[in-house]
Amino acid sequence: MKEPSKSAVVRTRIAPSPTGLMHIGTAYMALFNYAFARKHDGQFIVRIEDTDRQRFVEGAEQVIFDGLKWLGIPYTEGPNIGGPHAPYRQSENLPMYKKAAEELIEKGHAYYCFCSAETLDAMRKDQQARKELPHYDRRCRAIPLLEAKKRIDTGEKYVIRMKVPDHEVISWDDAIRGHIEINSNVVDDQVLMKSDGFPTYHLGVIVDDHRMEITHIMRGEEWISSTPKHILLYRYFGWELPVFAHLPLLRNPDRSKMSKRKNDVSVQSYREKGYLPEALRNYLCLMGWSHPQEKDVFDLNEFIAKMSLERIQTTGPIFDINKLNWMNGKYIREVLSLDELIAKLQPFLPADFPKDLLPKVLPLVRDRLVTLKDIGPLTEFFYRDVETKKEDLIGKKGTADEAKMYLDESIKKFETVTEWKAMPMETVLRDMCDAKGWNRGAFFMTLRVAVTGRTATPPLFDTIEVLGKETTMKRLNQARALFA
């Protein structure tokens, strides 16, 4: 694909429906549309397509705005910020869609259809019985316009359908997939205006994309089969075609399509689970696109600079939660500064988390954090009482007598410690263990379980230093009491 000329103003958009959640696929499409527009000094627009009133969810619009803001994907125009091409909600633009549909009627490119839901259902069942693909059989297409208008005047319900020509190859050069051809014989006479006066997606999207001067339609591959309808509508209206670019859909590891019935696809859910917006955004950059230097970790500005449609693959990228976890952990460990991480962790700290504890424990658990939400379970033993199990103190190959001995000697040694610092304490306890000929692994595991209640923790003596002498001695004595 040729890059846009320097004189051309690139305008891209996303047009989500407010149906309850912001799908991760919407974020993915928004990211690529935004980056492409930014790279070419253009504009990225958000338009809300809310004409499907049965699926409309109050407040869902704000969920989309909040999700884009959290991910750091700004837009130039939209319902909540305005712009020169308002309105940015389809429900506020109904007269224009009606006018457009009537224009198609007058030009002979559309017709009134009076078929009831029952008629259409029977038609569909009959076609299925004959093992045909369900389609409208065009029975209302032959109704003369004057007769149709008379029926409308009597109050008969109707929809408006587009006229699709027969035996025509409709083609376009897709910016990602190359030349595509579809025969019009497999294209249905699409409903453009519903009986409730609202447009269908196909009419609304064309009218708004033209009105908003969108130059590049970058959307999911599921819309490829609808593109011939859209090309015909552009032709019928006499409008210039935009560039079409169909991105691959996100897939599960088994190659199935990500859906809210099977997957956690809500952007808000990833936010609540403690994923970093920078990491999730970086991961989405790699969905079907690869960095020229094969880098995995890079910021948004680098993506904008390196991004090109030519590097987008046509096969569906795998959304692998394990890879996302790896990337999120890498951002936590290597990308964010300690102060940045502390700030981002604040909403995830339990209510009883001591205010002064985080700077002390974060260096100890940072390498173990996969998401921000992990901070709670990884650190609770520092400030909450622990439950120590006798069998864990003994270990798989130890004995009760050995565990008692380890605890007795440790208590004596810790009581004499004057400098409560990790390094000298570790040296003293290690020397004692070696002098007595104990198994290091068994000894230190008993000690670890006694002071933390766990078999896996951050570095033991750094943990003991943060716990302090009073808490450490209390827990050692509680553990020893289990063998009384």
287-320 residues labelled b (16+ CB within 10 A) or e (exposed) = bbbebeeeeebeebeebbebbebeebeeebbebe
Rounded Cα distance between 445 and 394, Å, is 9
**Residue 386 identity:** V
What backbone torsions phi and psi does residue 292 show, to the nearest 5 degrees? -55, -30
Specify the long-range contacts of residues 90-96, CB closer than 8 Å, at least 24 apart. Answer: 90/47, 90/48, 90/49, 90/50, 90/51, 90/199, 90/204, 90/208, 91/50, 91/51, 91/198, 93/204, 93/207, 93/208, 94/197, 94/198, 94/199, 96/207, 96/211
Query: Pseudo-torsion of CA 352, 355, 357, 359, nearest 10°?
Result: 140
260, 262, 389, 390: the active-site residue: 260
Residue 396 annotated to the active site: no
SS3 174: strand
Which has the closest alpha carbon to 244: 256, 259, 234, 236? Answer: 234
Rounded Cα distance between 125 and 131, Å, is 10
The contacts of residue 213 (CB under 8 Å, 6+ apart) are: 9, 11, 85
Which has the closest alpha carbon to 298: 310, 316, 312, 286? Answer: 286
DSSP for residue 239:
P
Q: Measure Cα distances from 474 to 389, 421, 422 in Å.
A: 16, 18, 18
13, 33 in Cβ contact below 8 A?
A: yes
Instruction: Output Rg (C-alpha) for the chain, integer angstroms.
Output: 32
Which has the closest alpha carbon to 365: 349, 387, 388, 386? Answer: 349
What is the CB-side half-sphere exposure of residue 469 using CA atoms within 13 A?
A: 11
Rounded Cα distance between 161 and 115, Å, is 11
The contacts of residue 339 (CB under 8 Å, 6+ apart) are: none
Burial class (CB in 10 A: 0-12, 13-18, 19+), 323: middle
The two tokens of residue 202 are 């196909």
Which has the closest alpha carbon to 31: 355, 263, 289, 240? Answer: 289
- Catalytic residue list: 260
